Every structure is written in structure tokens, then in C-alpha cells.
Structure 1
Amino acid sequence: MTTKEIEKLNNITKELSLKSLIGGGYKEFFFDKHFYRVIKGSRGSKKSKTIALNHIYRLLIYEWSNILVVRRHSNTLRQSCYTELKWAIAQLGVNDYFKCNPSLPEITYIPTGQKILFRGLDDPLKITSIAVETGILAFVWIEECYEIESAEKLETLAESIRGKYDNSEVFRQITLSFNPWSEKHWLKREFFDEETQKKNVSSYTTNYRVNEWLDQETIDRYEDLYRTNPKRARVVCDGDWGIADGLVFENFREAEMTADELKGYKPIQGIDYGWSNDPTAFISAYVNEKEKKLYVSDEFYQTHLKTEDIANLIKGKGYQDDLIMSEVDGRLINELFDCGIRRMQQVVKDKVVVGIVELQNYEIIINPKCSEFLVEINNYTWKKEKLSDRYLGQPIDAYNHLIDALRYAMTSLHVGVSLDIRESLF
């Protein structure tokens, strides 16, 4: 770059007016330097556009910084965060200094070679092996972070931006943004509850009222929601915690049951296999068909479990002699048999909705220690058509590993019928 070009860029950053770019409500957030900067908010609260402007601004003034942008699924990045960051570049008037590659996607700041990289958590190896040519990977933005199933997956990301750098002004930060989700989600526990939140955290809640550029029609629609659906207005308008919209199951509660209370209940077990992105999920429950009650009593839920690890967990919980209804995987079932788990029966995975309907006929009581199942059932929702906001007749393909295991377990109630009939149901 020429001296004249450098001076022009310096003038741009000096003359930036936050008020004119993003309006009010975000000054503290914009300059926050905590390691975790977490923001939840209602629709129309301009949080994504503010974060995009903030990261382009940082790339301009911190020549040592590079940025990683993450979502649960890589194919959602191009139409969301990538587009927002291109918009921010245009807003700042610095298009000539950036090269945008939509096919990767990737954004490069031409004067220094600093990068904005985009990755999905559906490819964890690409997350852990990220390297940059100039400076350091200093900032991570995780958009719609409620899609991430566990705090452990976030920790893996955090490891990618730790390390030493010989510059006193350097700081690192993970920004998490999302629309409010179920109060049972791990995000609330990790970042918003004072008793359990991580260290070095700043958390924010915002709403549509700080967005000066919302049109009146949109504002009227939000405000009318207080009249027509006050419960939903808390989430959509106020950015508050609530129950996930469109829950598949609403027939559940959290409680413990004693051995005396479980007299007349039948024990059932089920397992759904995974490896890296998806966990291996095992569930144990008790069913009272007459009273239509189901008690979820025990679980395990872990990634990277080898066959011997699975067998040891089953044995450690004392279920090795019980009938376990299993996802179809002949090789794994044979290996588990050799490890001493010898009462497993395969159940095919399709026709999910039929299994859901059966579970909806029961009151589901959940032992509080089954924390992963509580997260799933509080976040397992019906798919929604994007344009019309209409619910579809299929659930989302997320928050369903233990729920799938429970569907399999329920097929043990039909052991008296043929395997073909049982497989046709699920």
C-alpha cells in the first residue's frame, strides 16, 4: 500500500461514528474485551449487524488479528454471517481493501493478508487445525450458538484461539450470539446464571427497541404480540428466556420417583450410536402402560466412544443383562456381544413421527440427573417453513440422540409381536 492509501484507512477508523453506523444500545458491547462476550436478543435487535461491523472494525485497527466465524452447519454460513460481513465492509466504505471469496467462503484484508475464515462444527477436524499466515487467530464469532449441543464443543473451539503473542495490546475473544432459547439450554447455565457461569464472561440481552431503523409495520407486529400471545412476546420481543417455539413434546416434567412409586412399571433401555459430531446416547426408563406414564431414570451421552468404552459404561450402570433396543449396526452389536453385552435387539430408524406419537401419549417424568435428556426434550422442535413460518410435519434433526434411544427402548413393549411388525413402526 502507498502512504496515501494508509493515511486514508487511518482516517476512516478515526472518523468512525458508532452512533451513525449502529445507533444506540451497543457501545459497551462494542468495546467489551472479556474472553467470552455473549449476547442474546429478540428478532430485529440488530445484534448480528453490530457484531459484523465490530469485527471488520477490529480487523482494520488490529493488524495482528484474524477472525473465525462458526455455525453448527457449514452450509448455513454463506447466507448468514458471510453476507452480514460483506454488508459491514460496504457500510464502512472499505470495499477496495477487501477480497471476498464466496466459494470457500473467505474474506481477506488485502493490505496485510489478515483473514476472516468460516467453518462449521460439522467438520471438527477443520476447526482444530486452523492456522493463519499473519498475526494470530484472535476472535471467534459463533452465530446462532444455541445450535451447539454442549459446552464441551465450545471448549474445543476455545482451544483454537489460545496461545502466546508478543504484543501487549493483544486480546482474544469469543463472541456468542443467538435468539433466546429454552431456559434449560446449557448457554443459560454457562453464561447467564451467576452461580454457574464461566469466568471472564460478559453477557448481554437486547431487543428490538434499540433498533432505530425498524419500520413501523414491524414494530406494530411485535407490540401486538403482547396482546395476542404474551408468553411468546417475552421471547420474541423482550429477548428473554422461554420455552423453545414449536416443541415436539410438552407432556413432560422434572421429578424423581422412588422404588415404591415405580412398582408396576416395566424397565426399558435403548441406545443410539455416534462418534465425533454425534454422541453415543444410552437411555434407561420405566414405563407404566396402564397409567400412560414414562420415567426417564438414567443416561449416558458421549462422543468418541469405542466399542469397549460403550460396553464398560453399560456394565458400570448394571444394564449388561437387560434387553437393550439398538439402532441398526450389526458390526457394533456383534462387537458388544463379544464384550459381554448379549441382549441387544436392532430397531430400524425410519418413520420417526410414528415413534414420537407413541411417546406423546405418555406423561414423561425425567430424573433431574438426566441433564442431557432435559436439554434435548426442551429443544427438540418441529421444522418450520422459512417463508411462511408454518410448522412442518417433521422434527428438526438435532437434539434427538437420547430421544431416538428412547423411541428404540419403547419398542421393547412390543416384544411379543414379530420383528417385522416392530420394524414397520419405527
Structure 2
Amino acid sequence: MSAILPGATIGILGGGQLGRMTAMAARSLGYRIQVMDPDPSCPARFVVDACFEGSWDDARAAADLARGCDVITLEIEQIAVTSLQAAAKYAPVRPGVAMMEIIQDRILQKNWLVDHDFPVGEFRNIHTEADLQTAIVALGGRCFVKSARGGYDGRSQVKIGFDETASSAETLAHDAWNLLGHRPAIAEKALDLEKEISVMVARSPNGELKSYPSAANHHEHQILAWSVIPSSVPISLEEKAQEIARRIAVEMSLEGLLAVEMFLTRNGELFVNELAPRPHNSYHASERACTTSQFEQIVRAVCDLPLGDVSIVKPAAIANLLGELWLGHEPRFDLALSVPGVRLHLYEKHMPRAGRKMGHLSAVGESPEEAIERVLQAKELL
């Protein structure tokens, strides 16, 4: 395969913050960028050459985007298969359609992992309310139920059995099934977690593969609150996490980036949680921590350039800035930026709302702990 060299045009399906930051990295390398997004004023709009308005299932808009591009990638996994197929008629789509079909459906994804001998926590496939009732009992009464399709940052997900008021499995199943809109889902047994980590893997069409040191992730209300690279897990667990992530990338014939989210339990077990075939919130810190950021790496990977060095230069952490920060007052960015080693990253989203990611802070430190301390100190000053 021949490399797609700078000067060519990259198309991105999705123009959110991930598309925006990918476009900025691609511009630094000398590429032209076009995106497709349902919102004509999406965050990437202000840093790209052209923005095509189209919903994720708008195959015509995806084809229009691809006609003027040398390669297509994506920043969100909800792109309809028909749109991916339409784009593929005009330019290579990386990651490919076969991989996306599996990852888009949590039932297919989880069963693929089991079929390929990857470690996952106990779960049940849910197609009916009766399935869910049976699963709640089988999983010990405490579980997370996630819609098979769509949903992220806690959306289209229900926690079952975590409150103090006792309810029957029948009542819990009925309420959760209604909340999820009577849609197929996965029920996952609640685990006794020590830590949540992720590993980002890059793989080129020519088969070159590199994986970043793992990141440690802290969630609040099922949304990532902060993340740090490196994760500081024991070497044996780091090696196991790296092996799992790299093997998934090879088995799926990845072309692009793949974030492998994992659970580390208190008894030392490591389970794959979910796969994200795109840049990932937990690797925003790679812009500060690593020789090559995830955003430059996806450009290198989909254009079949040599992959960049993923070595850690200095530990770095990020803290997400959600829309509620803007509700009622103007954030004091000047105070946050007074903390040594802190940078501000805003996405140019015009309408803040609770739970919406508007930007993030990043910080470096001499240790992961110092990076976390600095970024959380800066966030408090906002």
C-alpha cells in the first residue's frame, strides 16, 4: 500500500471535539480536511476546509464528503453502515465497515470478545423485558443495563439494584425496560472495581502497530471526570492490558485507532469493558504526555504513514469541563491558568448544558499524582 502524503484531503465523519482536534493535528501535518456532521456549526467547522451537513444515516451526504477526499475516518461510532458503505465507494474508509458493524452493537461486540477468548465480566444479552428480569436475578441483583446501540457518557444506561429501597426483579426490569425504550440491551454484572483503565492502539493498513501506555480513568455520574497517563498499574497488569488491546486490534484488522476500556477488579482481574474505534477522551492527555498525540497518530495511521513514537515525555492529566460550569457564571479561566503546567482546551460549543463536554484542562507533573493534583486544583479555581 502507498502512503497518502501531506497535501491530500482527509474526510472525517463527525465534526465534534474529536473531529476538531484531529483536524487541527492534520493541518499541522499539511493535510486538507473536510467533515460531515448534523450540525453545520459543529466544533470542527471553524478549523476545516469544508463541512457537509448530514445525519449519521445520510448516505448521500457521506458520499458527497468522500468524493472530494483521499481517505475517510470517523470520530463517532454511530455512523450508519449504509453511510460508511456509500463513502467507501469513493475513498478508503478506516476503520472498515466490518469492524464498525461489530462495535456499533454492544451485543455483537460483547459476544465477539467472548468468541475470541478475551476476558469480559459476566453479562446477559437482553431482547425482552423477560430477559432482563431473568438477568437481574442471575447477575445477583446489581447490574448495569446498556442499550445495544447508541448512548455514551451514561446515556441509554440504567443502574439496577444500587439504591437502598428493595424492589422485586420484576419491578426493576419493568422500569429499566421502559427507560431504555424497549430496545435490545446488555446487562452487565456490577464488579468490585479497583480502577478503570484504557489502552489506545494504533494500526496502519500495512500492519504496523503501536500501543500507548495505559491511562487511568475516574468517572463521576458515568461521565469521565479526569484521566491520567500513565496509569501506574503494576508492570504485570500493564503487560497484560497491552497484550489484550494489541490482540484485539489485530483480530479486528484495525486501520486507525482503537481505545480498549478495561476494568481492574480488587482481586487483580482484568476485564474488557468496551471498544471505541476513534480518538478517546481518556487519551486527550497524550497531547501533553506523549511524543505523539492520539490526534496526530490517527492521521498517521489512516494515511499509512509511519506511526509516531508513543513514549511518555512527562506524566499528564486532563479534567473534563462540563456545561454546568457555565450555568450561572462565567468560568474563571484566568485563575485556572495560574496553576503551573496547566493548559486550557475549549471546543467552541455555543450552547452549554449539563453533562455536555465543553472543553478540558490539562496539566503535566513530575508524577501522575502531581499532574492530577494540578489539573483538579485548576478546575476548582474555575
Please give the TM-score of this superposition, normalised by the length of structure 2.
0.28
Higher RCO, 1 or 2 (CA under 8 Å, sep at least 6)?
Answer: 1
Task: Find the structure with the greater CA-based Rg.
Answer: 1
Please give the TM-score of this superposition, normalised by the length of structure 1.
0.26
